[in-house]
Structures are given as C-alpha cells and as structure tokens.
Structure 1
Amino acid sequence: MATIRVILALASTNKWQLQQLDVSNAFLYGDLSEKVYMTIPQGLRGHGSSQVCKLKKSLYGLKQASRKWYEKLSDLLISCGYKQSHADHSLFIKHNGDEFTALLIYVDDIVLTGNSAAEMAQIKYVLHSNFRVKGLGALKYFLGLEINHSVDGIYVSQRKYCLELLTDSGMLGCKPCSTPMDSSLRLRQDDLSDLLDDPLSYRRLVGRLIYLTTTRPDIVFATQQLSQFMAHPTKSHLCAVRRVLRYLKGYPSKGLQFKRDTPIHLIGFIDADWATCADTRRSITGYCFFLGNSLVSWKTKKQNTVSRSSSEAEYRALATSTCELQWLTYLLNDLKICCSKPAALYCDNQSALYIASNSVFYERTKHLEIDCHLVREKAQAGLMRLLPVPSSYQLANMFTKALPPHLFKSNVSKLELIDIYTPPA
C-alpha cells in the first residue's frame, strides 16, 4: 500500500442564522419536524411569543448534528465514485484500474491516501468546494498518534500522549519496572484493602491507559484486568495502575512498525487462560494477528460464559479469533489486497484442534455447538489453516496472563514493538 500522504481537517463552521417563523410560542432548534425546544438565549430581546428560531447550519452538540454531517459527507463521497467499505463504515475507497484512493474519516478529520496524485488533488478540490477544508500536509500527528515515515516503512507511537499521562499522574520521575503487571498478582473485586476516596482519578487513569493500548499491545492484558474495577476501585487496584505507569516510564516511546516489504499473509496466535477471573471464574481470551511481520490486530477479553474445561475455553477463544480473521479478510478484500496463501491460526491446545477437525465429539461439544460449526465451516472453506504451536512459542500468552520478566521481554520482542527514539545498543 502507498504511504499515507495527506491529512485533511474539516473545520465545521459554528455560524448559525435565525429565521423568524410563526409556528409556536417557543424557541426550538434542529429539525422542525422533531420540535426540540431550548431556552431563550440570555440577552435576546424584542421577539414576540409567536416567533421561533430555525437552524440553518448545524452546531456541535446538537442531537442530529453528527448524523447530518456524516450523511452529507458520505453522500458527497459516493457521488464522486467512492464506495463505502462494508468492513469499516468510516472507510471510503475508489479504484480505477491500478489507481487506488482511500479516505478514513473520524468525525471531521480525514486521512487521505492513494497512489494517484490526480485523484487525490481532485477529491481535495471537491471537499474544499463543499466544506471549509485545511490541508495539513504529510501525516505526522493524528488523534494522539505520532506517525514517522522512513525508507523501511511507517512507525506509529503515542510518545507525547504517554509522557503527558505520566506527567499528569505525577509519575514522570518514578523508578521504572520491567513488566506492567506482577505475575503473582491476582486482582479481585472483594479486595480487603480500603476503597479509594477519589475513584474518579482511578477511572481517568484507566481510561487513558485504554486509549494508549491503540499502539501498546504490551499493556493490553494489564489494562483489561484493571478496567474491571471501575465501580469500586481499592488501594491495591491503584497500586497495580501505578505499576503500569512505572513500566511506561521505562518505555514511553515504544510503538508499532509497519514495514514496506512485508509479505501479504495473515498469521494469528490464539490463547485462553481457563477460569482466571477470581470473582466469576470466567476465562480470558487473547489473540493477535500479523500481516506478514506487522502486528495489525490484538485483543484481550473476558469470555461471556463460564467454561467447564480448558478445551472449551480455548475453543471459545478460537471462535472469537475466527470472527476477527473473517473481518480482516473482508477489509483486505475491500482494499483489493490478495493474500499469498490462506491465513494460519496457531493454537497450543491439541484438544481444541481435534474438535475443529472432528465432528463426532458429541459429549464434549454439544454445549458449544455454534462455535464448533463456525470454526469448522471456516476451516473447510479455506479461510484458514489451524496449526499447533508449543506453549513456549505462543505469542498470545501475554494477552491472557501476566508473564515473568524474561518471558514477557521475549514475547514483546516478537511483536515488532520498537523505540526509534532510543539508539540501538
């Protein structure tokens, strides 16, 4: 794919006009058919009780503003020949032979990329003709993400965001640690330590950590564990958050590298930690997907139901990752990218692999029949190949459990997480 070149910030106007209409004796805004009422603005005088305000241009914060804005922008792009991706509705794509152009939209910010300079100039002209548009040049900073370009590829990090988090939490001068979570720690809801006097500070910290996981898969498991205690956080939970911050202090600039010469081949690693939740005894699902050598998707999530065996927990994780693989395949198809060979899913549980290839395990599979059919049908359709992998080489281990320092460093080194701000040893 071509390097992302331009980011356009669409500055929505905050100007609005009033038109006096004899409709009712109250002020209303938005669509007249909905009659959403507002109080009279302070200082507005000289209007009778039978006059109302008709909104001519949308304002931020109005109920229908975001929907109307997206509707107008998407209609404009579709009229210019762009197609909306079914895998991601915020992605618009246009193909013309070998030429390719894509727009990725977040509210009123747009990332524009492609290999046709003429088409990119044309769509910028169309956007500028219909909206107030400001071109910011090559993509360097977007929604807290820092993008660096080199001859080898693209490097994405959240260094500034991470340093601001450490500064705001007062942890910028702390002593760093080697892992984000103690491997012997088991957090639970009914902790014996005291509740926090200010739970909002805990919630803010965890919320900011969740956004940091956009480029930091090494703290995903710790953040998932900490986010379970938002309602009633205790001092021990806060200590665990501070350990994550201490880990970030040692590696604030780590980010993901996307190489230009990587092969187009999807590879996934799936794991589950059986009954790991001390409160509910539910298992943890973890997976990560690589496009060639570049990490493109990862997740840690508690399973919705209690699994009766480790095989069941692993198979549920396999079904979840299969759905993610299907979504990635749809996205690559929308981008007209063909993989060189079927995707490979690596699982370290032999029983789960046997269930996927054997439809006769009635006693062990009748209570998870839907998951069995899903994985088996996708495997038979050629979407993926299910392959065994030793637990020592299972990269998804770090997404399901807290690892000791040596194993954690070994796994992180294989995720293409690098720090371009630190000179090589």
Structure 2
Amino acid sequence: MIITSDDLQGISALKTFLSKQFKMKDLGRLNYFLGIEVSSDQSGYYLSQASLVYLTVTHPDNAYAVHIVSQFMSAPRTTHYAVVLRIIRYVKGTLFHGLHYSNSSSLQLIAYSDADWAGDPTDRRSTTGYFFFLGDSLISWCSKKQTVISRSSTEAEYRAPANTTSELLCLRCAIQIAHNDVFHERTKHIETDCHFFRHHVLEGTVRLVPVPSQDQSADIFTKADSPLRFRALVSKLQMIDTLPS
C-alpha cells in the first residue's frame, strides 16, 4: 500500500490503525516501486526506469518503436534485430529520462490524437496514437495498430479520436458510460466510431481544436520521424533527465 497526503498526523493515525488490523511493515519514503524509480523535490515527483522489463511504463518516447518490434516476437528477422539494437542504444543514452509530475499542475484534461494511414507495410493497417495531459502531467498514452484496414485516411482519422474519446471517458471515471472499451476496440464499422465520436462532441465531452502538422505531438506514437523531429516531440512529453536515487 502506498499512502500519499499532506496530513502527516492523519497518515500516522492511519498507519497505526492498519497495523492493528493487518501484519504490515512501514518501508518509509517511496523510492522504488514495481521497477520504477521514484524521487521528489519541492516541484513534484519524478518517475524513471533503468530496467528493460516494463520500460514503456515511464518511457512513452519508446512506445511506437516497441509497438512495432513486438509484432515480430514470434518470428524475428535480421531487420527486427537491428531495430532492437537501435532501441537499446537509445535507452542507454537516455537511461535516466523520466516523467515529471508537478505538484502545482492544474486538473485540466488535454488530449492529442493522431493516426497514420496504411502505414504498416505487412498488412496496411493504420496506427492510432494518443496521449493525455492532466495539466502539465502526462498520465496516459497509446500506440496501437487499428483492428481493421481503413480504406481512406478519413476512416483512420475517425477511429483514432473515437478510441481517444473512449479513454477520456474512462479517465473521467464515467464507468457506466465508458465501460464499452471491448466493443469499441472490436467494432468493424466506421459508422459506429463516427456516431460515437460525434455524440460526445455534441454533448461537449470533447472539444476539437485544430493542430498544425508541425505541432501534432501525437506523431511520436504513429510514425518514425527524423532525429531532430523526434527530440522535439519528446520534449513536449515533459520528459526530463533524473538523477539515480
């Protein structure tokens, strides 16, 4: 159990109560949890990882590349091995990159959504990419191949915000409305995504804001870019260098 609060007296009382009900050990200040290094200062918390097991948990900059090579785990070829080596070299150079969660962040939920069209050369499926900021803090992201082949870029672009909207509803804890993730993931008709997405636009759940291509940060989850463009996109994810604890 992890307890977070500014009420030190309340925390102490809760720990005393729990210790009487259960066998427990106070491990003190959180420094390491499930492979994630945790550090903090007056500005907030920093999350990072040096372990390769669940690297994308705190490294969204690797999400697209890992998404690509993971599709060939059962039958990798020389090309895929070369890509994995490039990922490892990148990880080595960014070993202490991590996410910063500010203690003064607002509670405004902002999402970026994007899709390529027929970008996978093996089956011509499109890739959906999105991420969410809660104020200045990155809290959710996704790089995932779409389940059906889109016959136009319009279809691919509609499916991406539909999936993003579904995630938005989950993040807003509207479980009774948004607990249809499996249905929306498996839908095979673009009409369903259109109506789903349009409904929440009309309801005001989602507000669309045009984003120029050069400012589309979700590109990092849908396609491979030049090193200069990639570094620019990583900087927008609020990833910074953290010192090892």
Structure 1 length normalisation: TM-score? 0.52
Q: Which residue of structure 2 aligns with residue 267 of structure 1?
A: 110
Contact 2:110/2:135 (<8 A) preserved: yes
Distance in 2 between residues matched to 1:135 and 1:367, nearest whole Å? 52
Q: Which residue of structure 1 aligns with residue 21 of structure 2?
A: 130
Match of 1:413 among 235, 241, 244: 235
1:114 aligns to what SS in structure 2?
A: coil
Distance in 2 between residues matched to 1:368 and 1:313, nearest whole Å? 9
Does 1:220 find its partner at 2:46? no
Contact 2:100/2:238 (<8 A) preserved: yes
- Structure 1 unmatched ranges of 5 or more: 1-109, 166-207, 332-365
> What does 1:275-294 correspond to in 2, within 5 Å?
275-294=118-137
Q: Residue type matched to 1:147 in 2?
A: V
Q: Residue type matched to 2:30 in 1?
A: L
Match of 1:375 among 165, 177, 197: 197
1:262 aligns to what SS in structure 2?
A: coil
List per-residue Cα deviations over 1:359-393 (Å, max 9, x = no partner).
xxxxxxx9412111211111222212011111110
Q: Which residue of structure 2 aligns with residue 185 of structure 1?
A: none
Shift of 1:121: 2.9
Distance in 2 between residues matched to 1:261 and 1:125, nearest whole Å? 30
Match of 1:256 among 78, 90, 99: 99
Shift of 1:223: 0.1
Shift of 1:291: 1.1
Shift of 1:124: 2.0
List per-residue Cα deviations over 1:168-203 (Å, max 9, x = no partner).
xxxxxxxxxxxxxxxxxxxxxxxxxxxxxxxxxxxx
Structure 2 length normalisation: TM-score? 0.89
Distance in 1 between residues matched to 2:80 and 2:20, nearest whole Å? 52
> What does 1:8-407 correspond to in 2, within 5 Å?
110-159=1-50, 161=51, 165=52, 208=53, 211-330=54-173, 367-407=189-229
What RMSD, in angstroms, separates the aligned Cα atoms of the two structures? 1.7
Distance in 1 between residues matched to 2:26 and 2:204, nearest whole Å? 43
Contact 2:48/2:242 (<8 A) preserved: no
- 134-143 vs 218-227, which moves further: 134-143
Distance in 2 between residues matched to 1:310 and 1:119, nearest whole Å? 54
List per-residue Cα deviations over 1:22-53 (Å, max 9, x = no partner).
xxxxxxxxxxxxxxxxxxxxxxxxxxxxxxxx
Distance in 2 between residues matched to 1:127 and 1:369, nearest whole Å? 52
1:376 aligns to what SS in structure 2?
A: helix
Shift of 1:290: 0.8
List per-residue Cα deviations over 1:395-424 (Å, max 9, x = no partner).
0001001110110011111111000339xx
Larger fraction in helix: 2
Q: Indicate the structure whose relative CO is greater, using CA pairs within 8 Å and at least 6 residues apart.
A: 2
> What's the % identity of the aligned pairs?
46
2:67 aligns to what SS in structure 1?
A: helix
1:397 aligns to what SS in structure 2?
A: helix
Contact 2:97/2:241 (<8 A) preserved: yes
Distance in 2 between residues matched to 1:410 and 1:258, nearest whole Å? 20
1:111 aligns to what SS in structure 2?
A: coil
Contact 2:108/2:134 (<8 A) preserved: yes
Distance in 2 between residues matched to 1:214 and 1:408, nearest whole Å? 19
1:418 aligns to what SS in structure 2?
A: strand
1:274 aligns to what SS in structure 2?
A: coil
Q: Residue type matched to 2:217 in 1?
A: L
Distance in 1 between residues matched to 2:157 and 2:124, nearest whole Å? 15
Runs of 4+ in 1 over 3 A off after TM superposition: 115-119
Q: Residue type matched to 1:276 in 2?
A: G
Shift of 1:235: 2.1
1:320 aligns to what SS in structure 2?
A: helix
